[in-house]
Each structure stands twice: as structure tokens, then as C-alpha cells.
Amino acid sequence: MLMLMLNFGLAQNNHIINKESTSFNIKGKKDSINFIVVDNNINSKKPIFLWCQGSLPVPLYINFKKDGLWMIGGGISNFDYQEIKKYYHLVVITMPKTPLIVDETRVNKSYFYYGNSDNQNVPSIEFQKEDFLDNYVDRAITVLKFLSKQKWFDNSKLVVAGHSQGSKVAVGVASKYKKVTKLGLFSANPFGRIDQNIRKYRKDAELGIISWEIADKKIENEYHYFRDANDISFRDTNPNLISWYSFSKPQLKELLDFNKPIYLAYATGDVASDLCDLVPLYFIQEQKKNLTYHRYLNMEHNFFEINNGNVDHNKPHWKEVMSAFVKWTIE
């Protein structure tokens, strides 16, 4: 893993990765934090665009034997990040207990780093213990405080955006770090997380995919699981519950309390973000006019088209989704 140690608050030497990004390592409250600025030249003064990636310990770079280093960058490879670089320093932070660069032999088919886990489809215990909202928020704010002291950071604007679980992190950062000027949420569930499982079972029953009897049992199982997640004694013995406990808390109040511009983008075929349709009602009720939303029709969680009920991976739309957001941030 490539890494450079930096003293917090002091801009020292940095490391260029694959001629496309600059890596940093700073000290957080509990551990060191790795992050990248997606540029091999950071001398020009620009505002920061912090991108908060979704769930699972996917490294920012994977080293493939055949193709060499491949930047996943928390999903930024899905959209035109070169466009973002025209206006911002694009920053992405590693997931907790996840190296910045990982060899392909250390990731599973979904490209997440399983560490010392016996099961390649289950994250390491070390990651599970750190996989909670407050930790992501604290790590992000530590990075932002470091960046605010750099000569190449234009403090006049700070954009924070995230996808899926990353949207929850973005809300948490915007709520606690008052220098955030614009907030972007993609495929968000502002009402929690575990509720989407329940809504999925209900929807499957309504469509006849499963029987109501099966849906009833599955919904009851979700209640039981969530009771365990809300019991600290169970979380102590089963770290997997930590994430469900943390990320299932609604964030609607934090959104309503944020008085700067908010951008909400979601797809109609995404059960996780179904309830985004309700969010404008709360803003209208509070007579708040700082919400911009864009509902993408017949797409799924990652903005691929849905045709005849099937996801068409040959028809991605992340680039246009992100381009619309970037245009909104500079208007």
C-alpha cells in the first residue's frame, strides 16, 4: 500500500498514484486516515468537492495483475470526474480499516477488501467495528480541517456529496461542519435503512413475487433483527449489527435544519430511495425553499436503466446525473 505520513495541519510531500491522484495520510482521533485528491497537480487554488462513497470496504485503488492500477475512487470512475476537476479539488477518503491500494487477490467479486475474514463475502471484524455513521463523519471532518489549512484550498465554497450510505455521511458532515456550502445526496434514504427491507418485502408481495405469508414472516424477522441491533449487548457480540443500528436512524431533521442548498437525486426503480418522494412535503410544510430534487425515471440504485423489469447495464446514466449536479453547484 502506498502511503505518506503527514503531520496534521502541515502541507508536506505527497505521493502521486498512477499519474492521476495525490494521496495523503493524516492522524485521526483513533487511527490514521488515507485519502486522495484526484489530481496529480494540486497547486492551483480551488474549492473542495468531498465525495462520500457508499457501503462496503471497497478500496480506492485495486492493483490488477493484467490491467495494473485501477481507480475505483468510491464510485467516481462511474462519472466524468474530469469535469469536476475543472472547478474543484475532488477528494475521496478510504473506508475504515481498508488500505488505499489493494491487490486483486485481496478483494472479492464485488471488489470489497475482506481483510483477515474467513469468508470473502463478509468484511473483517475490524471493519465491522468501525462501520458506523459517527466514525465516518468524524473522519471526514478531520480531513476537511486538514484541507482548510492548505494554500491550494479555496475556502469560499465546500461541496459535500454522497451516494447511498455515503449520502448519510454527507448529511452528518453538513450537520456538524458549518463550512459546508452545498450538499448533494444520491440514492438516499433519509428515513433510515432497515425500513427499505420491509418495504421491499411488501412490494414483492403486492407484485405476487412472494406470498403475503412469506412477506409477513420476513417483515417480522426484520423487527427481530432490529431489536437485536438496538441492544448494545448484542452489538458487542455481533459487530455486524453496529452498522444497522447506526445507519437506520432517520436524518430528516438534519436535512431540515441545514439552511444551505440541498440537491437530491434518486431513481424511481430504487426501493432504497422510494421515500425521497416524501421529502419535498416536509420542506414545503416548513416553508423552506433550499431543496432541489431530480427524480430519474425507470432507473435503479446506480442509475442504470430498467427495461421490462430488468437492469440494463449497457445503459448507464451516472455521467449525466453527476453532470447535472456539478452544473447546479456552480450556478
**SS3 labels along 227-256:** HHHCCHHHHHHCCHHHHHHHHCCCCHHHHH
Pick from 97, 88, 63, 90: which is nearest to 74 by CA?
Answer: 90
Domain enclosing residue 208, as ranges: 193-248
Is 90 exceeded by the pLDDT of residue 176? Answer: yes
Q: What is the pLDDT of residue 28?
A: 76
Pick from 26, 112, 104, 123: which is nearest to 64 by CA?
Answer: 104
Flag whether 6 is in a domain: no
Q: What is the pLDDT of residue 31?
A: 82
Task: Name the residue with higher pLDDT: 1 or 294.
Answer: 294
Is the same domain home to 172 and 36?
A: yes
Last residue of a domain, one of 233, 248, 263: 248
Whole-number Å distance between alpha carbons of 240 and 95: 16
Q: What is the pTM of this model?
A: 0.94
pLDDT digits (tens, 9 = 90+) for 236-284: 999 999 999 999 999 999 999 999 999 999 999 999 999 999 999 999 9
Is the same domain home to 269 and 322?
A: yes
Is 60 exceeded by the pLDDT of residue 12? Answer: no
- Three-state DSSP state, 267: strand
- Three-state DSSP state, 45: coil
- The tally of domains found in the chain comes to 2
Flag whether 2 is in a domain: no
Q: In the chain, helix, strand, coil percent, each to 5?
A: 40, 25, 35
Whole-number Å distance between alpha carbons of 310 and 297: 14
Flag whether 52 is in a domain: yes
Q: Angle at CA 10, nearest 5°, toward 9 and 11?
A: 120
